[in-house]
Structure 1
Amino acid sequence: MCRVLRSLCLICMDKPHFFTRTDITRRLNACIGKTLGELDTKHVLDSPTNKGVAGHVIEKSVLGYPADSARRPDLNIDGLDVELKTTGIRASKKEGISFEAKEPMSITALKPDEIIDEEFESSAFWHKVQNMLFVCYVYEGKPKKGRDYSNFPVHTAFFKTFEGEDKEQLQRDWTTIREFVRDLYEENPDSPAFEKISSGISKEVSPYLDTAPKWPHPPRIRFRRAFVNSIINEHLKKTVYEHIPDEERLSSFDELDHKLQELTNKFAGKTIAQIAAYFDMEIPDKVPKQLAEQIVVRMFGGTSRKMHNIALFQKMGIVGKTVALNPQGMPTEDTKLMSIDFNELESNDVYEESDFYYFFKDNDLLYMVFQEPEVGISRGGEVFLGFARVPLEPLAEKNGLVESVWDIMRDLIISRKLRLVPETDKSGAPILNKNGVPREAPNWPKSTESALFVRGTGRDSTDKPEVVNGLPMYRQSLWFHKPLVKEQIEQHLLQAN
């Protein structure tokens, strides 16, 4: 209790910067469309490092106060404490979102000796995040020094108050972190194993929050990148996320798994046509592949055509994938994961800050598994087997499968070893496209070499918008090979009770 009182006293002594909402809105609206270089009247970007320079431009040149790293919220706006966060966003190649955050959002220091005595409502964390002001600039490449930020334009600025479902989930995640630290003290009061903090706070137990960096560096509590993405895109309204009826009840993975089991019990063994009829959905003569995903959305009480339009799945990092199994239990297709941003891949030399790392760290796959019908029966005859939720975070570990593919691709690009290789059949004869042009593909990791591989897709052989090292190619994505998908489904598929 003494620690809490001491912390509160420090907060009271350390005054925020005072503004009216009218004034700060006017200042930030004037920034939209201007680059950080144009706004930098205090020459912040002359810094030889890139650490925090975008935020310092907004603080010093736009709002007129010194850089501020105090634990209390930065601003007081019309009597309300507000935390200012300046963050980089990038145009997204992912279906369903227009922009994505370049990284998780650091919120406040995790001080083990203080958090163990805190309650959520009076915690330093909640005081920081209850009311926030986001300033988002468009980020490209991998800037090394302050001046590299000069051409990054400010895209949007907006207020966000966390309440309702978001507040409840933040409270659950924060409480998980506090209880984890308390357990460390209980296990060894004299020398708690703080090095376990980062690895112990997994996405499975804390969907919105994580901690970084790893001990012995002082850890901080962060918003996971998937959560930041949902905040930004809900504000931009480029994607209107649907809130399903059970959203409040499905705020943890245990609750979600329970719901998945309920749905498996109810619908397993029924065909796509039967489930569609249950929801009064029209079935065209030629059943499209997308119908299976639409049916699953209906199971959750939604009306969207895609799972990525459901707010809950966006915030929790749930990526839906429909899988059809042949009679031998093998998926009929490989599973597409994420589009590759080659500017980011080439410029970012730190794996644990890369798109590859964050995709696997922040997402789970939710396989919607169907049994392929007999030959001659339409897709409407596919039988629903159940759900398999597969956490991807373990694959993101250092020196694992994902980092291996990331390393190989970067080496091919940087060492100029990337080539377009002619594709041949089993006899060695060249394979031709429909227009008679020989088929060729980059020498990225292939499914014959790795369970995680790279493949391009396009409308036809002329649809090659990507150019890497001067070589034109289809849009490239990461994929799971069918045997790995089969293994994941066998391990995680829920069985009907």
Structure 2
Amino acid sequence: MKPFEYQNEAELIEYAKEAEGKYLFEIDKENMLENTNVKGKVGHIIEKSYFGYDINSNAEPDFADVGIELKATGFTRMKSGKLKAKERLVLNIINYTKEAEKEFYTSSYWTKNARILLFFYEYLKNADGKMDARNTQIAKVDLFEFPAEDLDIVKQDWQIIHNKILNGEAHLISEGDTLILGACTKGANASSMREQPFSPVLAKQRAYSIKQGYMSTLVRKLITEEHLVSISSSKEIAEKSIEEVLAEKFSPYYGMTDKEIAAQEGITLSSGKARVANLISAMLAIKGTDLSKIEEFEKYNIKFKTITLREDGQPKEHMSFENIDFDEYATVPFEESSLREKFEETKWLFIVFQKNEADENVFKSIRLWNMPEAVIENELKAFYQETQRVLNEGVILEETKRGIKNNLPGAKDNPVCHLRPKGRNASDKVKLPDGQMITKQCFWLDKKYIVKLLAST
């Protein structure tokens, strides 16, 4: 197929937008759908079959003469009907030695990705649970450039990554360091390690990426034209920080009980799961707003968790997350796991209450936290790999006076995290990879670890 020829940027964009509504089987002229081993299949088909260009990893943009990079990015539809980006948008590999010599506007990130022609597609699964590539449809095509206010944050993000390179700390780069522009790992073994210029320590290969939270915001704005509520401006966050902005919003309520906050803000304090969420939206002056519709929470991938301390300052319990997928834990390497992705990409807003003598919940503080890279690579990885080992060797279930005991990693086995049951009752069970049935198990952060991270504020 001949490369698509265009006279100017307008012709390129016009042709690109003609792909909206088309399915991959209509676009694929090279039988690439038949190749089940092609990674990034959607992008490769668009590049080769729609535009007629050979797949490459050049330093300049795909359409270099007009300074436009081509990318395909998927989104999924949640049970609620809300759209979200399937994953982060991975850009170019970072050459630490070359990047150390650059400034933002000469960096490999900017020179390649300043303007991106985005092909959005809905990610659907077939009967086998795999991507239904043939029936994948292009939902939207958009020429994306960061708006000025978000670009200020992107510049700060790039500088954080760059400073670690200059300080000989490329091996300590973490996704949690930044808000919009990330440096995600690429490759999972020793052969993908890279030299860095100011340290003999090999660093993981990383690529620039636009984080999943920001991509989800784009999906919701461009495809469903959804209105998200802002609690600040990007300019304010660039001048201060998201931590400072949130502290200013919440600090007037410190020392008040949840009932006092509710009374002051004129809301009814529910007894269900929405209790704290309703309080948060009231304290942020956007009463009644679903937290998923707060632009900053979505854009910067902030999720909230409540911590309730006893009178003595100790947490009442370990912190629970979702029930785990045993099949994934048994088969997916840690480097590709959803567990690692969750703690690499998510910032957690801890809303901290403490019980007083009257057993009331007193609002104590907030903490915006992301799991340090060192913890991800050590304790979290060790927990995941031990769980994988037990699952693949066969879980030992033993009946005791207190119920069924198992040999999955418990609180005594790891100082950071463990598994324990979290089902409606003992009969709420799932099947293990070896065919046995077990009460649903949940991922928990250890309460002693929570004490340490709260003490580090």
Q: 1:447 aligns with which of 411, 414, 418?
A: 411
Structure 2 residue 238 is matched with structure 1 residue 259: no
Amino acid at match of 2:385: D
Q: How far did 1:332 drift?
A: 2.1
1:352 Cα offset (Å): 2.2
2:341 pairs with 354, 358, 368, which one?
358
Please tell me whether residue 215 in structure 1 is matched to residue 194 in structure 2.
Answer: yes
SS at match of 2:159: helix
Partner of 1:71: 59
Aligned to 1:478: 443
Distance of 2:235 and 2:184 partners within structure 1: 25
Q: Report whether the alignment pairs 1:403 with 2:381.
A: yes
Q: Does the 8 A contact of 2:420 with 2:442 survive in 1?
A: yes
Alignment of structure 1 residues 378-417 onto 2, 5 Å: 381-394=360-373, 396-398=375-377, 400-415=378-393, 417=394
2:285 aligned residue: 301
| Separation in structure 1 between the aligned mates of residue 88 and residue 44 of structure 2, nearest angstrom | 18
Pairing of 1:84-483 with structure 2 (within 5 A): 84-87=70-73, 98-102=83-87, 105-107=90-92, 109-110=94-95, 112-113=97-98, 116-120=101-105, 125=110, 128-136=113-121, 138=123, 151=133, 153-154=135-136, 156-158=138-140, 159=142, 160-181=144-165, 183=166, 193=168, 196-200=169-173, 203-205=176-178, 207-210=180-183, 212-213=185-186, 214-216=193-195, 220-235=207-222, 237=224, 241-251=228-238, 255-263=241-249, 265-283=251-269, 287-288=271-272, 290-349=274-333, 351-374=334-357, 381-394=360-373, 396-398=375-377, 400-415=378-393, 417-422=394-399, 424=400, 428=401, 430=403, 440=404, 443-450=407-414, 451-459=416-424, 463-464=428-429, 468-472=433-437, 476-483=441-448
Q: Which residue of 1 aligns with 2:189?
A: none
Q: Contact 1:369–1:386 (CA<8 Å) still a contact in 2?
A: yes
- 1:98–1:238: 8 Å Cα contact kept in structure 2? no
Instruction: Tell me, in whole angstroms, the C-alpha distance in 1 between the residues paired with 2:311 and 2:412.
Output: 23
User: In structure 1, what is the Cα distance between the partners aligned to 2:84 and 2:291?
Assistant: 18
Question: TM-score scaled by structure 1?
Answer: 0.72
Cα distance change on mapping 1:227 and 1:265 into 2, 3 Å? closer
Deviates more, 1:448-457 or 1:465-474: 465-474
**Aligned mate of 2:16, from 17, 24, 27:** 24
Task: Quickly say closer, same or farther: Cα 1:303–1:208, change in 2 above 3 A.
Answer: farther
Any conservation in 1 of the 2:157–2:180 contact (CA below 8 Å)? yes
Q: What is the CA–CA distance in structure 1 between the aligned matches of 2:39 and 2:303, rounded to whole Å? A: 32
For the residues of structure 2 that align with 1:99 and 1:273, how far apart are their CA atoms? 34
* Mapped contact 2:311–2:355 kept (Cα < 8 A): yes
Letter in 2 for 1:138: Y
C-alpha separation in 2, matches of 1:418 and 1:17: 59
* 1:311 CA drift (Å): 2.2
Q: CA deviation at 1:467?
A: 5.9
In 2, Cα distance between equivalents of 1:298 and 1:490: 27
Counterparts of 1:318 and 1:413, CA distance in 2: 31
Structure 1 unpaired stretches of 5+: 1-14, 185-192, 431-439, 493-497
Q: Is the 8 A contact 1:138 1:153 kept in 2?
A: no
Change (3 A) 1:344 1:315: farther
SS of 1:154's equivalent in the other structure is coil
* Aligned 8 A contact 1:16 1:74 in 2: no
**8 A contact 1:357–1:396 mirrored in 2:** no
TM-score (norm 2): 0.77
What are the superposed Cα offsets for residues 141-176 of structure 1, whole Å, 9 maximum, x if unpaired?
9x9xxxx87757525543244214332221222233
How far, CA to CA, are the matches of 2:315 and 2:441 in structure 1? 21
Equivalent residues, number: 433
- Give the SS at the match of 2:297: helix
* Alpha-carbon distance in 2 for matches of 1:445, 1:84: 44
The 3 A distance-change label for structure 1 pair 218 and 290 is closer
Between the aligned partners of 1:318 and 1:256, the Cα distance in structure 2 is: 10
Q: Offset at 1:106? A: 2.3
Tell me if the contact between 1:104 and 1:228 (Cα under 8 Å) persists in the aligned partners: yes
Shift in Å, 1:464: 4.3
Name the amino acid aligned to 2:113: K
Cα drift, residue 24 of structure 1: 2.5
Residue 102 of structure 1, CA deviation: 4.5
1:469 Cα deviation from its structure 2 partner: 3.7
Output the CA distance in 1 between the equivalents of 2:386 and 2:238. 38
Superposed displacement of residue 302, structure 1 = 2.9
The farther-off stretch of 454-463 and 319-328 is 454-463
Per the alignment, in what secondary structure is the counterpart of residue 55 of structure 2? coil
